[in-house]
Amino acid sequence: MLPYKVFYLVTAISLFSGLHIVVAQKTNYSAEHIEKIAYADSILKAAILKKDSLQMAEAYYLLGKVELSAGNHLTAHAWFMKSLRIQEKFGDSYELGRLYIRLREKEQRQGHYDNALNYLKAAKGVFKRIGSPVGLMRVYTSIGELYADEILENKVNQPETITFSIDSAFYYHKKAEALATVLKDTMALANIRISSGKLLLLKKDPKSILYFQQSLNEFTQLKEENERISAMLFLASAYIAFNQTEKVPAILVQVQQFYEKNHLHNYTWLRNLETAYMNYYKATKQWDKAFKHLEKVKDLERKELLANQEGAITRLEIEYETQKKEALLKKQDEELILKNDYVHTQQLFLGALGVLFLLTGGLSFFYYKLYLKNRQISQRNAVLIKEQNHRVKNNLQLVSSLLSLQANQFSDPASKQATENNLLRIESMAILHRELYDKEELAVINLSDFIKEIVEVVVQTFAYEHVELAYSIEPVKLNADQALPVGLIITELVTNSCKYAFPDNPMPLLAINCKREREELILNVSDNGSGLKNNSSVEAVKTSFGMKLIQMQVAQLRGSYSFDSLNGTTFTMKFKPDFLL
């Protein structure tokens, strides 16, 4: 994983790269799009400052929505993928399922119906696992929209996993409608009924009238005026389709009055109204009036096209004038800055010379005093380290002496043996201390010397000086945190060899190998005893404190170990050391 600073630097670069794309395509955006981009941009900048990955994913999602709405599918895909890479790391969530649904919309618009269905299946799985009925409702609605896509119906090369089907679309809308009813989500229920009504209208089923009426009542109850007007136009279309034309004029008059009252001049809305009038007059065979409204529809389409062109030109003119003014102001600012810089540069240069002489004298005196103080501190620290080493040696010797006295007091062989084992462990710590502090390199030990000294102490303790010792240890230096576990493990292994392998062995042999292999250090300790074949020996070793101690020390080294009893007993351990060669 990238470090945080690098991660957020990359994110910031990505942000400005994305905004560069926006600037290059800004003639495709409406004022609403630009406002939404600014909002998403503010969220993204705040997320980068707070190092909030989920908030960054939300900002990417919002930017993708805007691009998708503007028809910039490639840019939308790039933003959605940025969001997806973050969301998937955090596992299942409503936001992840919502993102899959939005990717479905993008794929559907591009005609990639198989991909769209796969994204919906992924979203469905997420919402089922997190138990989100709201998410499942959105999935079922989206699947219904996918099956009812008119472009899918006329597609020459049909997708492998989905075909145009009004019945399938209606089935999924009914599932969504059932969830909306349980959730008591009136707004969602009304929108789903609009979609279901349109499907029934395509099937020439008069039940579509009932669905449009229900949605109209629900939008009226919610006081959603724009949606209510849209439902009225759909209802009028259904009345026309099923020869109930006598109900149409009243609806169209209400819609027209609403537009006039609210001074609505949206070309799309007006075109829909005029289209409804035209269809009504065609159904009632009033051809002259139908033709007049057809001309109005064409005129509105022409005006809408001109308005879009004029709006684009106006935006370009405003941007051009703004950029000219900004360039002029920037040039004037630069000239003023240059003049001020020229005046101040000479003053600063003369002042800097004087300050430099004063600073040189002051710093020289300061560093001299600091040198004296550091030398005094170093001398004091050297004395303290010597005193500390002396006290540690004395304390280890005292503990060793106390344990030795206690061992002599025990009559129980097991207790006496346990105490002697602890003496050996303390002795390995004392050896480590000598290796660390009695030589020139502090806090670092030579592994070869350390192991050999521990082995000799243990062998001498058990009076096995005649044991043949074979060493093959690569030159490695370890820090204290790793050396102590290695020392304790060696102590336990050699002790076990002395206790179980060397008695009644005419030619005892102990071999210790240590080598590096890539980034790991491999330690082998083997003897030529009978191995762990005797049941009583096996159980004694497995349940002993020494074995538990070995396991703890290997875990501390974050390594792994194994025993082999093929020819004697062989212990193998692997771990990653901090090499200090």
DSSP string for 198-240 = HHHHHTT-THHHHHHHHHHHHHHHHT-HHHHHHHHHHHHHHHH
Distances (CA, A) of 251 to 217, 224, 229, 238, 301: 14, 17, 9, 12, 23
Highest mean pLDDT pick, 424-433, 511-520, 526-535? 511-520
Q: Which residues contact 130 (CB under 8 A, 6 or more apart)?
A: 92, 93, 94, 97
CA distance 123 to 133: 12
- Contact by Cβ (8 Å): 400, 427: yes
Q: Is 474 helix (H, G, I), strand (E, B) or coil?
A: coil
Question: Strand 520-527's sheet: what is its strand order?
Answer: 468-473, 509-517, 520-527, 569-575, 560-564
Domain that holds residue 537: 444-575
CA angle 405, 409, 412 (to 5 degrees): 130
Q: Which residues of 450-482 are buried (b: 16+ CB within 10 A; e: fewer)?
A: bbbbbbebbbebbebeebebeeebeebbbeeeb
Asked if residue 526 belongs to a domain, the reply is: yes
Q: Which pLDDT belongs to residue 271?
A: 84
**The token pair that represents 463 in the structure block:** 């009076």
Share of the chain above pLDDT 70, in %: 75
Asked if residue 311 belongs to a domain, the reply is: no
Comparing 134 with 341, the larger pLDDT belongs to: 134
Residue 238 CB burial class (10 angstroms; 0-12, 13-18, ≥19): buried
Q: Is 524 helix (H, G, I), strand (E, B) or coil?
A: strand
How many residues in total does the chain contain?
Answer: 581
- Among 59-63, 303-307, 512-516, name the one with the lowest average pLDDT: 303-307
Which amino acid, one-letter code, is at 409?
Q
How would residue 60 be classed by pLDDT, with cut points 50, 70 and 90? very high
Q: In this structure, how many other beta carbons lie within 10 angstroms of the beta carbon of residue 155?
A: 14
- Please report how many Cα atoms fall inside a 13 Å half-sphere around the Cα of residue 446, on the Cβ side: 11
Q: Which pLDDT belongs to residue 453?
A: 86
Q: Is 533 helix (H, G, I), strand (E, B) or coil?
A: coil
How would residue 81 be classed by pLDDT, with cut points 50, 70 and 90? very high
CA distance 218 to 345: 74
CA distance 186 to 202: 24
Q: Which pLDDT belongs to residue 386?
A: 60
Q: Which pLDDT belongs to residue 4?
A: 38
Q: Tell me the CA end-to-end span of the chain in Å, nearest whole number.
A: 29
Nearest 5°: phi and psi at 181?
-65, -45
Domain containing residue 450: CATH number: 3.30.565.10
Confidence check: pLDDT of 388 > 70: no
Q: Structure pTM?
A: 0.48
Asked if residue 394 belongs to a domain, the reply is: no
How would residue 54 be classed by pLDDT, with cut points 50, 70 and 90? very high
Residue pLDDT, tens place only, 282-326? 988 999 988 988 988 898 888 777 765 655 455 455 455 556 665
Asked if residue 95 belongs to a domain, the reply is: no
Q: Which pLDDT belongs to residue 400?
A: 59
CA distance 423 to 275: 101
- Report the run of H or E that residue 564 belongs to, with start and end: strand 560-564
Q: Which pLDDT belongs to residue 139?
A: 92
Four-residue CA torsion sign, 425, 429, 434, 435: positive
How would residue 23 be classed by pLDDT, with cut points 50, 70 and 90? very low
How would residue 29 be classed by pLDDT, with cut points 50, 70 and 90? low
Confidence check: pLDDT of 83 > 90: yes
- Report the run of H or E that residue 392 belongs to, with start and end: helix 287-409
Distances (CA, A) of 115 to 43, 69, 199, 427, 447: 30, 19, 23, 69, 60
CA distance 126 to 149: 24
Comparing 152 with 362, the larger pLDDT belongs to: 362
Asked if residue 118 belongs to a domain, the reply is: no
Confidence check: pLDDT of 269 > 80: no
DSSP character at residue 446: E
- Contact by Cβ (8 Å): 57, 44: no
Asked if residue 17 belongs to a domain, the reply is: no
How would residue 96 be classed by pLDDT, with cut points 50, 70 and 90? very high
Please give the biggest Cα pair distance in the chain: 125
Mean pLDDT of the 84-113 span: 91
Which amino acid, one-letter code, is at 547?
M
- Contact by Cβ (8 Å): 433, 484: no
Mean pLDDT of the 101-126 span: 91
Q: Report the mean per-residue pLDDT for the chain.
A: 80
Mean pLDDT of the 21-32 span: 50
How would residue 128 be classed by pLDDT, with cut points 50, 70 and 90? very high
CA distance 467 to 453: 15
Nearest CA among 454, 417, 414, 416 for reference residue 434: 454
Q: Which pLDDT belongs to residue 572?
A: 93
Asked if residue 549 belongs to a domain, the reply is: yes
Q: Please count the structural domains in the chain.
A: 1
CA distance 188 to 177: 8
Comparing 261 with 574, the larger pLDDT belongs to: 574
Mean pLDDT of the 529-558 span: 75
Asked if residue 45 belongs to a domain, the reply is: no
